[in-house]
Amino acid sequence: MIRVVLPAHLKTLAQVPGEVELEVVGTPTPRAVIDALEDRYPVLLGTIRDPRTQQRRKFVRFYACERDLSLESLDVALPQAVATGSEPFFVIGAMAGG
């Protein structure tokens, strides 16, 4: 079970009050987590990554275990603490503008 923390606007869209818990088949990677997230909440399609290129949107970041994973490959395995559910995977709306 993977725990995912969404930014406020995406929680509103997905109508979830807090963390999201997802089952991810196979090795948990950022791509697998986002795939599972979009599968569970189709309203989030296009909000985290471009629907055509599948690239992370430029003002969205991925954090876990006090590390910024945004610039790493989407196919690298997430830290074990995220894979086991002891730490969440954060989807962050970058602090910019207002």
Contact between 68 and another protein by CB under 8 A: the answer reads: no
Shortest Cβ distance from residue 84 to another protein (Å)? 29
Contact between 1 and another protein by CB under 8 A: the answer reads: no
Strand 89-93 and strand 2-5: the pairing is parallel
Taking CB under 8 A as the criterion, which residues in 23-62 touch another protein?
43, 45-48, 50-52, 57, 59-60
Q: Measured between alpha carbons, how far is 79 from 3 in angstroms, rounded to an integer?
A: 12
Q: Measured between alpha carbons, how far is 51 from 42 in angstroms, rounded to an integer?
A: 12
Q: Measured between alpha carbons, how far is 65 from 3 in angstroms, rounded to an integer?
A: 12
The residues that touch another protein, with contacts defined as CB under 8 A, are: 7, 9-10, 13, 43, 45-48, 50-52, 57, 59-60, 93-94, 96-97
